[in-house]
Amino acid sequence: MNWYVVYTKSRAEKKIANLLHEKGYEVYLPMVKTMRQWSDRKKKIERPLFPGYLFVKTTPVHFTNILNIDGVVNFIRFGNTVAKVREQDILNIKIMLNGAEQITIENKTYNKGQIIKITEGMFAGYQGLVEYFKGKNILIVSLLELQITVKVEIPADFVKAVSK
């Protein structure tokens, strides 16, 4: 059995994780507690670390059963192959989340070509070049310190601008 990434309908991660769990699958939905600010109040909320995605441990024999669950869009694929996630990567996410006391979400604006430093997550300490925003709080970043170009999708609250 391997871990696979399931792409879900928007804001259906918890519901689908519960349905998969009820059907006997081992499911991991990494959640983070964040302080959300509205114009009139602040509130701690829990939200998925990877909106729209969850991890399920299964075998290819059960793919069709999982895809038939209402709210499951597809498995993440590389070409025609369903992407597997290593057990160590799941453990790293759990370790990272156990170390994070609180992640705050701010409406930050970054511009294409801006240099940023990643402050949290598995790429903490790396500098990157903003390629573009994806959604409200996600950046696509090229890591500068690596000899090759690697594009990484990271939450905007995991980075800070580097002053020139």
Domain ranges of the chain: 2-104, 115-161
Residues whose CB falls within 8 Å of the CB of residue 52, separated by 6 or more in sequence, listed in order: 7, 8, 9, 10, 13
Convert the pLDDT of each residue in 38-61 to its tens digit. Answer: 778 888 888 888 888 999 999 999
Q: Map residue 157 onto helix, strand or coil.
A: helix
* Model confidence, pTM: 0.60
pLDDT value at 64 more than 90: yes
Cβ count within 10 A of residue 143: 16
pLDDT of amino acid 147: 45
**Architecture in CATH of 2-104:** 2-Layer Sandwich (3.30)
Q: Map residue 96 onto helix, strand or coil.
A: helix
CA 20 to chain centre: 19
What average pLDDT does the chain have?
79
Q: What is the CATH number of domain 115-161?
A: 2.30.30.30
- More confident call, 33 vs 48: 48
CA pair distance 4, 83, nearest whole angstrom: 6
Contact 154, 121 (CB under 8 A): yes
Convert the pLDDT of each residue in 112-142 to its tens digit. Answer: 777 777 777 766 777 777 776 665 555 566 6
Locate 3 and state its tokens.
């871990």
pLDDT value at 105 more than 90: no
Q: Exposure of 151 by Cβ count < 10 A (0-12 exposed, 13-18 middle, 19+ buried)?
A: exposed
- More confident call, 29 vs 124: 29
Tokens 């996630």 locate to: 85
Q: How confident is the model at residue 151 (pLDDT cuts 50, 70, 90)?
A: low
pLDDT of amino acid 41: 84
Residues whose CB falls within 8 Å of the CB of residue 110, separated by 6 or more in sequence, listed in order: 116, 130, 133, 139, 156, 159, 161
